Structure formats: structure tokens, C-alpha cells
Structure 1
Amino acid sequence: MTQAELAARSGVATPEISKIESGARAAGLVTLEKLARGLQVEPWELLRATPSGQPPAPTDPEQRLAALMAGQPEDVKQRALLVLTALVTPLR
């Protein structure tokens, strides 16, 4: 699939896809979700691929969460924290 085809399927601009693919830019959560939808895969599947020779994503869940949140805008971090809190808080 070309970058232009992925852009059309995902709604992510071709120049942004190019920067992500070359490693010049990291993809945020929303962008990862869009790209995954365009590729018809789950977002986490994009995190384990390392065709550029970069080290694989950490396997420890806490390290994976930290890596995923690194560089994200504060509002994304806050939303992720709300979701995680809801997941780990027992129902009363």
C-alpha cells in the first residue's frame, strides 16, 4: 500500500505518514488509531513492528504505557489517565 492510499483510507495526511514512517515524527494516539483503521489492524499491532531497525516496543506493561504516553499532549495524557483509573477502580 502506498502512503497516498493509506492517507485516503486513514484520513492522515501523506506528509505526516512520511514523517512517521521515516522516524522524523512519532505518531500520537489519535493518529495511531486512524492509521490502524486504515490498515485494518488493531493499534497495538503498529507498536510491535520494527521495520526501521528501531528497538522493539518494551514488553513490560508499565514500560509500554510510559513509552506510549511519552511526547503526548497533556490533554491526551489526562484522558488516558481517566480511562486507566476507571479500569482499575473497583465497582462499589
Structure 2
Amino acid sequence: MTAEPCSTPGKVRYATPITARRSADRDTAIHGTRHTPYPCECGWWHTTTSERDRKIRVARDGTVYARKKRKAKPPGSDGDHEAT
């Protein structure tokens, strides 16, 4: 099997989802913006701050899951309510 060329060759490459997850956690802590790992068509893993690349979730043990689409909360269901 031959991997596709990387569409983002300037990004850091990670060999496993675990190393990408650790880097994403570190970058989130350092920069204050949420970083998440994602598999690239080139066969490596990268990290991103982009919402569109967050279709998967990588657990800390390296298990990869499809990210479930969350249902929108109805207005007023966030726990905020007026005091009477």
C-alpha cells in the first residue's frame, strides 16, 4: 500500500495516535486553544485547531473513535434561568 502525498507537508508528523494525542494535549495546555489529533491521507497523524478536522476522537490510550454528532441543546437548557 502506498500512502498519498501529504496535503499539509509543513505540519509535524506523528507515527501513532498516542503520540499525536500527547502533543495535542501539550499544545492545548501551552497555547490555550483546543488541539486535536487526526489521521492524514499520507499515513501520518497531525494535530489541528480546526473544527472541520475533528471527525474522530483519540482516547489517551490511543483508541480511535468516530466522533458522534451532538444534538443541539434547546434554548434555555444550559442551566441558566432567571431568579423569581
Q: TM-score, normalised by structure 1?
A: 0.30
Between structures 1 and 2, the one with greater strand share = 2
Q: TM-score, normalised by structure 2?
A: 0.32
Between structures 1 and 2, the one with greater helix share = 1
